[in-house]
Chains A and B, each alone.
Chain A
Amino acid sequence: SQQGEEDPQALSIQEGENATMNCSYKTSINNLQWYRQNSGRGLVHLILIRSNEREKHSGRLRVTLDTSKKSSSLLITASRAADTASYFCATEGAQKLVFGQGTRLTINP
């Protein structure tokens, strides 16, 4: 069973624009993580936000967490061609991470 569901499944924007991806989940969590996957590569950890945090920043990334709505969002500001990738949210439960199916982000030059 998959806990996190990303929305949209695919997103295409122009370089320089901001990209927002959302993740919804069903049960209570201790933390939520976001990962990036470039085509043909393994996942790369981007950011972890704990259940008692509401917002976290890392460079051009901004993650929010709303535990009352069981949702999180990942904002990438000033997008670049190199941001083209799939982005996954992952929620922790019973010593395991459960990944969503991802958002495929394409940055057009």
Chain B
Amino acid sequence: DAGITQSPRHKVTETGTPVTLRCHQTENHRYMYWYRQDPGHGLRLIHYSYGVKDTDKGEVSDGYSVSRSKTEDFLLTLESATSSQTSVYFCAISAAGSSYEQYFGPGTRLTVT
């Protein structure tokens, strides 16, 4: 497996609380992505980063923010969690963008009650 870890792996939180998910890579890849996976919707892109401090929105970015202060870390923050953000979140990395393969982390299961 590519060197990607996600933390925490599972989290239960209450509506309205802030939540930060962390993705850490040891591959020194330039591109990093956050996806969410929900039944009936497949995998959808939330935000991605193409370098340190360079980020852009994906398909479902509302309610989420990201930060990347180091090559190896990409943080996803839910400023005020809602029940609709209950999902499985996957981080992925790529050496050279979407023209090349992506390597996925193990996922974080987030439940917002």
Chain A residues proximal to chain B, CB less than 8 Å: 1-2, 30-31, 33, 40-45, 48, 88, 92-93, 95-102
Contact = CB atoms under 8 A, between A and B. Distances in A.
Contacts, number: 56
Contacts of B74: none
A6 to B, nearest CB: 9
Contacts of A42: 4, 90, 92, 104-107
Interface of B: 4, 35, 40-45, 48, 50, 56, 58-59, 90, 92, 97-107
Contact of B59 (A1, A30, A48, A100): A1
Given A30-B99, A33-B101, A92-B99, A99 B43 contact: yes
A95 B106 CA distance: 23
Decide if the interface of chain A is mainly helix, strand, loop or mixed.
strand
Given A1-B59, A31-B99, A92-B98, A44 B42 contact: no
Contact of B50 (A92, A95, A97): A95
A41 B106 contact: yes
A48 B58 contact: no
A102 B101 CA distance: 17
Given A48-B100, A99-B35, 14 more contacts: A2-B42, A31-B99, A41-B106, A41-B107, A42-B92, A42-B105, A44-B104, A48-B101, A88-B43, A95-B50, A96-B48, A99-B42, A99-B44, A101-B42
